[in-house]
Amino acid sequence: MSDVFPEECISETISFTCARDACRFSVVSTVFKSAADSDAVWEKFLPSDYREIISGSASPLLLTTNVSKKDLYLHLCHNPIIINNGTMSFAIEKESGKKCYMVGVRGLSFSCGDSQCWKWSSLQESRFCKVAELNYVWWLDVKGKIDTKILSPKTNYGAYLVFKLTESTSGFRTRPVKLGVYLEGIDNGERRNVYLDPPRNTPKLSQKRGDGWMEIEMGEFFNENGDNGMLICSVFYFKGLHTKRGLIVEGIELRPKDGK
């Protein structure tokens, strides 16, 4: 095929596939490798507004350095960049190239946000400059908001609480918290009760991430066209006078679920 069609035609054809297929094509022959690795192909795999996102980030030099579009794509898969004045991070999902966002603690709302309830500190393993550690609360209410217009359209997103538990944690083993994902003003979204520190013989719903944090799925949301307004992701507990402590929150992440 490479002897029949010019490289530009091969590149154009590959650009209608996906990043995974482009990598497979690159091992067919030297001509295919050149076509599959071209900027013309990988520009199509990047989000259409990637330049705007990067230019307003803490890493604008990614647009000015002599880096190929393939290398930029792979960089954004493995190295989230900080945006919105440090309140969010942005990355792309490796298989699909769709957008992933995490709302850090500076972008979350804490109904009990004073120094007695939460302590703001820095952790080396966090992508953000600050995380929030729970000193103690009687009730818990943490919310994150994200505008659906910045999410990838026609995409099923999962929302995940990214957290850790300290050695002195208490109140999360005997009492579940309620997680919710719903549209602002249309409070009919999904709700689930989960144990962040599950008791013995209770299924563990959280899992360890590659970055050393834990995550637990809060719910999911299908973003049709990005015109549904604000998506709310919440963690709350209001039942009884049971103190909770020792929860460290890095943020709430939204990413395509199962690459869809």
Residue 223 has pLDDT above 50, yes or no: yes
What is the pLDDT at residue 153?
96
Question: Residue 66: inside a domain, yes or no?
Answer: yes
Residue 239 tokens read as 């039942």
**Residue 108 sits in the same domain as residue 23:** no
> What residues contact 27, with CB distance under 8 A and at least 6 apart?
33
Q: Are residues 72 and 122 in the same domain?
A: no
Of 46, 79, 112, at which residue does a domain stop? 79
Cα within 13 Å of Cα(104), Cβ side: 22
Residues 12 and 62 occupy one common structural domain? yes
In a domain, 113, yes or no: yes
Residue 165 resides in a domain = yes
pLDDT of residue 64: 83
Residue 91 maps to a domain:
no
One domain, residues 145 and 222: yes
Q: Tell me: do 52 and 135 sit in the same domain.
A: no
Q: Are residues 137 and 222 in the same domain?
A: yes
Widest pairwise Cα distance in the chain: 75
Tokens representing residue 189 in the block: 């979204």
Supply the pTM of this predicted model: 0.89
DSSP assigned state of 199: P
238 and 155 within one domain: yes
Q: Supply the CATH number for residue 147's domain.
A: 2.60.120.260
pLDDT tens readout for residues 25-57:
665 667 667 777 888 889 999 999 999 999 999
Query: Which structural domain range is residue 144 located in?
Result: 100-259
Helix (H, G, I), strand (E, B) or coil at 206: coil
Same domain, 67 and 125: no
The number of folded domains in the chain is 2
pLDDT at 260 over 60: no
CA-CA-CA-CA torsion sign (9, 13, 18, 22):
negative
Between the alpha carbon of residue 62 and those of residues 56, 69, 162, 206, the distances in Å are 11, 10, 27, 34
For 134-150, letters b (16+ CB in 10 Å) and e give bbebeebebbbbbebeb
**Distance (Å, whole) CA 167 – CA 216:** 19
Q: Please report the beta strands in the chain, taking only residues with DSSP state E, as ranges in sequence order.
A: 81-83, 88-92, 99-104, 109-110, 118-121, 131-134, 140-147, 155-170, 177-183, 186-194, 207-208, 214-223, 230-237, 245-256
